[in-house]
């Protein structure tokens, strides 16, 4: 199911703040950056923190499957 919902500024800022709290997702110098379990936990933390019913970031899910970096 694909939805095309635009976030408001507050939701976007919340997502960025939650992402920033998880350096294992973006800081390649972090010791946890290479630990998949830590990254998965960080993704789940973001999903839970967004507190949006049915929230699932397709880019994050595809990134987790392929191992690609999120940009």
Q: What average pLDDT does the structure give for the chain?
A: 81
Q: In the chain, how many domains are there?
A: 1
Residue 48 lies in a domain: yes
Q: Which of 36, 39, 45, 43 is nearest to 59 (CA)?
A: 43
Domain span at residue 19 reads 9-65
Structure-token match 């940009």, residue found: 71
Whole-angstrom distance, CA of residue 16 vs CA of residue 36: 21
Q: Does the structure show a pLDDT above 90 at 65? A: no
Q: Which of 19, 59, 11, 9 is nearest to 68 (CA)?
A: 59
Q: 57 vs 32, which has greater pLDDT? A: 32
Task: Work out the percent of the chain whose per-residue pLDDT is above 70.
Answer: 68
Residue 1 lies in a domain: no
Residue 71 lies in a domain: no
Per the confidence metrics, is the pTM higher than 0.75?
no
């Amino acid at each position: 199911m694909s939805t095309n919902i635009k976030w408001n500024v507050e939701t976007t800022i919340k997502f960025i703040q939650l992402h920033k709290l998880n350096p294992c997702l973006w800081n390649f110098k972090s010791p946890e950056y290479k630990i998949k379990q830590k990254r998965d936990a960080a993704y789940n933390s973001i999903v839970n923190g967004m507190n949006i019913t049915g929230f699932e970031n397709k880019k994050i899910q595809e990134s987790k499957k392929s191992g690609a970096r999120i940009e």
